[in-house]
Chain A
Amino acid sequence: MEAEELKNKIYDFVLAAKGKKKLKEKDIIKGVSADTGEAADVVKKAMREMIDIGRLMYSYGGGSSSVEIPSEEYLREKGLIK
């Protein structure tokens, strides 16, 4: 699978959970790996690249962290949108 296609699958997986479940990194890696057949390491690397450019972000609440779709506020603060 092309890297960009895999990243789109990861994005869709996180989007589908929005408002329903707080996803840990491992939930995403396991879920997308099962859906696409890609190795866990490959999914992890792609997910991390998405986090590094702000396509996904880490969130935090009640002592626990999760991976989410960034809000407009976050993207604006990071200078990724105007």
Chain B
Amino acid sequence: MKKYETPLLDELEKGPWPSFVKEIKTAATKSEMANDELGQLEKSYRDKRGYWKHGGIVGVLGYGGGVIGRYSSLPEEFPGVAHFHTVRINQPSGMYYKTDSLRTILDLWDEYGSGLTNMHGSTGDMVLLGCRTEALEPLFAEVSSRGWDLGGSGSALRTPACCLGQSRCEWANIDTMDICNELTQTYQDYVHRPAWPYKFKFKIAGCAIDCVASIARADCSVIGTWKGKIAVDQDVVKDYAKAGMNITEEIVNMCPTGCMSYDGKELKIDDTNCSRCMHCISKMTKALRPTGEKGASILIGSKAPIVVGSLLSWVVVPFIKMEPPYTEFKALVEKMWDWWDDNAKPRERIGEVIEMKGMRSFLEAIGVPPQPQQVFEPRKDPFFFWKEEDLNGNK
């Protein structure tokens, strides 16, 4: 039943795209919470300010993550959203669902919450929006009894996320979904029990096209790559040219390392200078393909601008084999966590600590030797790690 006039929100129903206002209005026909959500949001638009309070001590017993407390600062005016907590449900790798499992979750959510969802949040989780405190434990009991679990929040390991990988993509160099699942299972304790100075995110991409945007969003980006050459089918290259592709402009001149040349007859690649960025392969999918050993590059430190500015991930390990049970990768990650936990102040991400303490200190702690691929900015990261004892003979 319509409870509020919403002229400002109504504007957002216009146009060709799906509208969140329309969805909330649909939910509001059955849910008092969704109805008051509309009323409070309209007031926010009118007053040009938000009316939410965030944080606190909500959660399920024994867990430190998975529920984000959200309260209305106008509970008397909008009682339906007095409590409006967010519940994160750990998504399956690649976000694959059977329709009946989705129906199960959504039926439970209609019963215990507002009926509003966010599929999916930027963390990767399935996000259930709007739960009262007293409904959290019963909802969790129902959800967990059906094999689901909460995702991460707070200063914990956030729910690992990945691209579709080898399940749908011919360019995936690693089994992203298996890696994501393995990390989720192995580090359950870190997801549910926040033990660190701040959050830590894994995102796993099958190639450098990076559909999961790991290089911008993950403290640890795992990006599939290869060691061999790019195989070129020159006949197909000619077909692309005949079809109107300007190979010099669209491919050769766009190569970030300038390792390609084209004389109108033959496309040549200097593979020793190729950074495996995938630009040429993604444009000429039928003519080019990676060959040789497959694995991943490990990058560290990206984040959005919260405490200090945003950062992109930084290559730490140019190539590592990624085969189950990923023992070498897990050992590396655990060393990273130890160093970060020892050196960070509260709310410092690992990338910020590396910026402050230096990549040298970080590489020494995790036992990775300096390599040319780690140079982030030329002429700024020399990586000559002279120690005091090295200089003694020259004093």
Name A's B-contacting residues (CB within 8 A). 22, 24-26, 48, 51-54, 57-65, 68, 70-71, 73-74, 77-78
Given contacts A24-B196, A64-B155, whether A77 and B59 have CB atoms under 8 Å apart is no
Number of B interface residues at 8 Å Cβ cutoff, please give it: 29
Q: Is B347 an interface residue (CB 8 A)?
A: yes
Q: Does the CB pair B57–A52 fall under 8 Å?
A: no
Given contacts A25-B193, A52-B62, A58-B64, whether A63 and B56 have CB atoms under 8 Å apart is: no
State whether A24 touches B347 (Cβ < 8 A). Answer: no
B137, B193, B198, B306: the one within 8 Å of A78 (CB): B137
In the bound complex, do residue B347 and residue A60 qualify as a contact, i.e. CB atoms below 8 Å apart? no
Say whether B137 contacts A65, CB under 8 Å. Answer: no
Q: Which residues of B contact A (CB under 8 A)?
A: 55-57, 59, 61-65, 68-69, 133-134, 137, 153-156, 193-199, 306, 341, 346-347
**Interface majority SS on B: helix, strand, loop or mixed?**
loop
How far apart sit A26 and B133, CA to CA, in the bound complex (Å)?
28
How many Å lie between the Cα of A22 and that of B347 in the bound state?
A: 12
A sample of 11 cross-chain residue pairs with beta-carbon separation below 8 angstroms, ordered by A number, consists of: A24-B155, A24-B346, A51-B62, A51-B193, A58-B194, A60-B154, A63-B155, A63-B347, A64-B198, A70-B57, A78-B137
Pairwise interchain contact B199-A63, C-beta atoms closer than 8 A: yes
Is A78 touching B61 in the complex (CB atoms < 8 A)?
Answer: yes
Q: State the CA gap A64–B156 with chains docked (Å).
A: 9
* From A24, A53, A59, contact of B195 by CB (8 A): A24
Main secondary structure of the interface of A (DSSP, over half): mixed
Q: Are B61 and A63 in contact (CB under 8 A)?
A: no
For B198, what are the chain A residues with a Cβ–Cβ distance below 8 Å? 63-64
Looking at the complex, which one of A22, A51, A53, A59 makes contact with B346 (CB distance below 8 Å)?
A22
Contact present for A64 and B154 (CB under 8 Å): yes
A57-B59, A63-B347 are known; give 12 further A-B pairs, CB within 8 A. Answer: A25-B195, A52-B62, A58-B57, A58-B63, A60-B68, A63-B155, A63-B306, A64-B197, A65-B156, A71-B57, A77-B134, A78-B137
Q: How far is the CB of A57 from chain B (nearest CB, A)?
A: 6
Chain B neighbourhood of A77, CB < 8 A: 133-134
Which chain A residue shows the least CB distance to B136? A77
The chain B residue with its CB closest to the CB of A44 is B195
Q: Give the complex CA separation of A64 and B56 in angstroms.
A: 11
Residue numbers in A under 8 Å from B137 (CB-CB): 78
Q: Is the beta-carbon distance between B154 and A54 smaller than 8 angstroms?
A: no
Cα distance A22–B137 in the bound complex, in angstroms: 25
Find the A residue at minimum CB distance from B194: A65
CA distance A1 to B166 in the complex (A): 52
CB distance from B359 to the nearest CB of A (A): 24
Whole-angstrom distance between the Cβ of B378 and the nearest chain A Cβ: 34
A61 in complex: contacting residue of B56, B65, B134, B197, CB < 8 Å = B56
Q: Chain A contacts of B61 at CB under 8 A?
A: 52-54, 78
When the two chains form their complex, are residues A61 and B55 in contact, meaning their CB atoms are under 8 A apart?
yes
